[in-house]
Amino acid sequence: MVNTSILPVTFTLSSTIVCDTTQLTARENELYYDVCPQPGPIPANFKCNRTVVANSGRSIQVYLKVFQTSGKDQCVQLIDAFNSSRITEVICAQSGQELYQSVGSSVSVMYPGKQMNTQVNSFQIYYMLMPIVDCNTTQLTALLVEQYYEVYAQRRKVSTDFECERAILVTEGQKMQVYLKVSNASSADQCVQVTDQIYPYQISRVICAQSGQELYQSIGSVVTVTYPGKRTSGRITSFQVFYLLICDTTQLTARENELYYDVCPQPGPIPANFQCNRTIVADPGRSILIYLKVLETSGKDQCVQLIDAFNSSRITEVICAQSGQELYQSVGSSASVMYPGKQMNTQVNSFQIYYMLMPIINCNTTQLTAVFDEQYYEVYARRRNIPNNFECKRTISVTEGQKMKVYLKVFQAFNADQCVQVTDPLDSSQTDHVICAQSGQELYQSIGSVVTVTYPGKRTSGRITSFQVFYLLICDTTQLTARENELYYDVCPQPGPIPANFKCNSTIVADPGRSIQVYLKVLETSTTDQCVQLIDVFDSSRITEVICAQSGQELYQSTGSSVSVMYPGKQLNTQVNSFQVYYTLSELFLFDYVSDDEGIN
């Protein structure tokens, strides 16, 4: 007989997810709990109500953190009971909606926070103790997210003898707004005095919950807000003082050295409704170079709009942190820089605007250097007629062994008399090449690494509108010769990321009867997209091969004595850093065929 008393007991686990309703106690340090105890998507019928409590007389800050993975439907509803009052609030994992500070010492947190049509992943609710909102609360810090504090206690009458002073600050050099909101329930007696500390001076201003009197914008980075703002005989209902870090509109002055400012004074994602207009000025007669730096973290939506006022003209231009679109040189001595630069559907991280003085665009400007980003200079001054006696000579260079192209762009507004003369010292023809804004005559590709561009390119009797001369570093197509020792060249003559539209075709040759070994080295920094295509022509045969910086695919030995090496080697969806192509001589293995009766040597 089996003794059933010692058999193991079997439990059946329920698949239903149960909300933990244990009461939570807020502490001085940050705490959190998971809305749903199971990670991943929250079941559609899941509901949960948690209570967070604090010691009597202490309030609670309940908040969500906004991450890249956060969604606007990650919301909870808060019920804040204070004396006989009941406040209901919804907070969501979205900038500006993610925080609530309780009035009482107990808050109910309910999920879901709102009606939803989409599935939501589990998220965390953070909570911590906050001091009672009174004068024991110390210095406040303004952020880009609107914040406020209660002058006394929400929905209660302020004691007639109550006085309170609060300090609000931002980082040195930043600005803030301190303001009251005007509503039907507001009163013109709801006032505070704002004192702006600008050492060694002070500015005091009274703001009230009345249209036209409700806002103060700081000059300094510290303000003191004092209640009462003015003396009154009646009782006043408590109200909120709002404070917000804002765009600094202080005028900037360009210098000879590079300067910059942050588009948004707070790092990280820029709030969707944030706008900022800065003005950059220079001494009369000086122009300004305004530009963005294209970094690995840059995005195509990091843009600003520039308004360049020159005499009675107004030029509007958008620059973005994208190769070929990141730079503007002003015509006048003042430019307005406006964010956002264009309509956006995505969130953008804060970025820097760089600026510096540029000399007036004339022949005092010295040698120019061509790079892979298209650049240009104005022959005279943008949109102005060139005087008949104006002459100008500019020198453009690249690193020894590199090549460039100098060209004009042909538009309907251009004419065939817009010409420059290009002199290339290494051109064996010893002729000066005239290029004009006319199809078929608009380009010169250098032989040497230095060219001189002279205006006028030809004599004309009419007046010519100023135009741009463009210049660009290009792939060096000079033929390479393989030797017994290892040689190499850089696929892209400029280090770092290779521009998306960059193409290059190099030819490597050897003495007749010798073959060539072409290879890439597989390094820790190599990637599978570092590839070149090889075209090997031997007699009437044509072999096409792709080699990549990947073990087993990195080497090719030619059949003939000439190989074309083409970049890119394959279709790319990612950015690739420049790399080296190595080459060396290798014996060409050939059989000497003779007649059958003689055999094979």
Domain residue ranges in the chain: 24-130, 140-246, 258-268+278-358, 368-474, 480-587
Contacts of residue 392, Cβ cutoff 8 Å, sequence gap at least 6: 362, 363, 379, 380, 454, 455
Residue 57 above 70 pLDDT? no
225: β partners? 166, 194
pLDDT for the residue 234: 66
pLDDT for the residue 530: 95
pLDDT for the residue 587: 64
Mean pLDDT of 6-13: 41
Q: How far, in Å, CA of 586 to CA of 517, rounded?
A: 6
Higher pLDDT, 310 or 208: 208
The confidence band for 311, taking pLDDT boundaries of 50, 70 and 90, is low
pLDDT for the residue 163: 86
Is domain 258-268+278-358 classified as CATH 3.40.30.10? Answer: no
The confidence band for 390, taking pLDDT boundaries of 50, 70 and 90, is confident
Higher pLDDT, 326 or 155: 326
Dihedral (CA of 356, 361, 364, 366) sign = positive
CB count in 10 Å sphere of residue 486: 12
The phi, psi pair for 414, rounded to 5°, reads -90, 165
Residue 595 above 50 pLDDT? no
Same fold: 258-268+278-358 with 368-474: yes
Lowest-confidence range among 146-150, 434-438, 495-499? Answer: 495-499
Alpha carbon 176 to chain centroid, angstroms: 24
**Domain 140-246, CATH homologous superfamily name and number:** Spermadhesin, CUB domain (2.60.120.290)
Percent of the chain scoring above 70 in pLDDT: 86
The confidence band for 136, taking pLDDT boundaries of 50, 70 and 90, is low
pLDDT for the residue 157: 66
Lowest-confidence range among 248-252, 416-420, 536-540? Answer: 536-540
pLDDT for the residue 10: 38
Q: What is the chain's mean pLDDT, rounded? A: 85
Nearest CA among 454, 382, 459, 449 for reference residue 422: 454
User: What is the topology classification, in CATH, of domain 480-587?
Assistant: Jelly Rolls (2.60.120)
* CATH top class, domain 24-130: mainly beta
Residue 599 above 50 pLDDT? no
pTM over 0.85: no
Q: How far is CA 381 from CA 33, 209, 222, 244, 361, in A?
A: 64, 52, 45, 43, 7
pLDDT for the residue 104: 74
pLDDT for the residue 594: 39
Nearest CA among 585, 401, 396 for reference residue 490: 401
User: What is the topology classification, in CATH, of domain 368-474?
Assistant: Jelly Rolls (2.60.120)
Q: How far, in Å, CA of 353 to CA of 305, rounded?
A: 11
Q: Is 565 exposed, middle or buried (0-12, 13-18, 19+ CB in 10 A)?
A: buried
Residue 445, CA atoms < 13 Å, CB-side half-sphere? 7
Q: Is 418 exposed, middle or buried (0-12, 13-18, 19+ CB in 10 A)?
A: buried
Mean pLDDT of 535-541: 83
